[in-house]
């Protein structure tokens, strides 16, 4: 899943991005709202972590305008303004959650995960296919009850395949949701991650390559 971080303090932005990437998210980061506005029009983000005060001003105003136009992406408002009136203003302007600075990174990660699961499509906490189970709360994957140690990218790819287990998921879709803007869409990065995921999932194989299209989950697939 892909998250946009809007934070003007460079050191804090680095910490947030690193923490979310460690948790398995693809993360883009900008320091001001005009850049965020462009990104939001071009990328299907699962969540936005939004600093309230940035160089261009209070982000509640453009957030409110986007909400009026029907924009529904979950937003976690991250700010040092934490009095009751500030929080009320945030929620009234369209924020879905409010986290005060300073904060614990583990709490931010959990809150982002909660917002994603509460999105309009109501994503499930547990995703299953055959004997594979992905637990969103614990961010764990097991097969036949055995815990698998996946990289953040492997976890993200498997999660997306599980969410769309009755469909073919294209390489473009995987890059849009599991990689950030630094990914090279013409490289073999997706194939390399899928190959590693196949090895860790073991036999029988469940990830089928649909040539010219992408990948899908089956009950038993031969890697190709």
pLDDT per position as a tens digit, 37-78: 998 888 888 899 999 999 999 999 999 988 888 888 899 998
With cut-offs at 50, 70 and 90, classify the pLDDT of residue 139. confident
pTM above 0.75, yes or no: no
Q: Domain limits of the chain?
A: 2-117, 126-217
Is domain 2-117 given the CATH code 3.40.30.10 in the classification?
Answer: no
- Alpha helix locations (H) across the chain? 10-22, 33-42, 60-68, 84-92, 105-117, 152-163, 171-178, 189-201
Residue 52: name the closest of 97, 117, 114 by CA. Answer: 97
Question: What pLDDT does 223 receive?
Answer: 46
Determine the average pLDDT of the residues in 180-187.
60
CATH, domain 126-217, list 3.30.70.270, 3.30.720.110, 1.10.10.10, 2.40.30.170: 1.10.10.10
């Amino acid at each position: 899943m892909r998250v946009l971080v809007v934070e003007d303090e460079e050191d804090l932005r680095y910490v947030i991005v690193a923490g979310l990437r460690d948790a398995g998210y693809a993360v883009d980061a900008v320091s001001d709202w005009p850049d965020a506005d462009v990104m939001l029009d071009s990328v299907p983000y699962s969540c936005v972590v939004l600093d309230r005060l940035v160089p261009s001003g209070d982000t509640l105003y453009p957030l409110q305008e986007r909400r009026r136009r029907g924009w529904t992406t979950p937003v976690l408002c991250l700010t040092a303004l934490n009095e009751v009136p500030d929080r009320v203003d945030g929620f009234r302007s369209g924020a879905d959650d409010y986290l005060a600075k300073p904060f614990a990174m583990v709490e931010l990660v959990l809150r982002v995960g909660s917002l994603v699961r509460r999105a309009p499509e109501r994503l499930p906490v547990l995703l299953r296919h055959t004997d594979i189970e992905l637990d969103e709360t614990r961010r764990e994957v097991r097969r036949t009850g055995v815990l698998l140690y996946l990289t953040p990218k492997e976890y993200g790819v498997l999660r997306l395949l599980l969410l769309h287990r009755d469909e073919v998921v294209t390489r473009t879709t995987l890059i849009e949701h599991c990689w950030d803007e630094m990914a090279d869409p013409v490289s073999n990065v997706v194939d390399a991650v899928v190959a590693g995921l196949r090895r860790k999932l073991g036999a029988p194989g469940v990830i089928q390559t649909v040539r010219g299209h992408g990948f899908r989950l089956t009950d038993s697939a031969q890697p190709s």
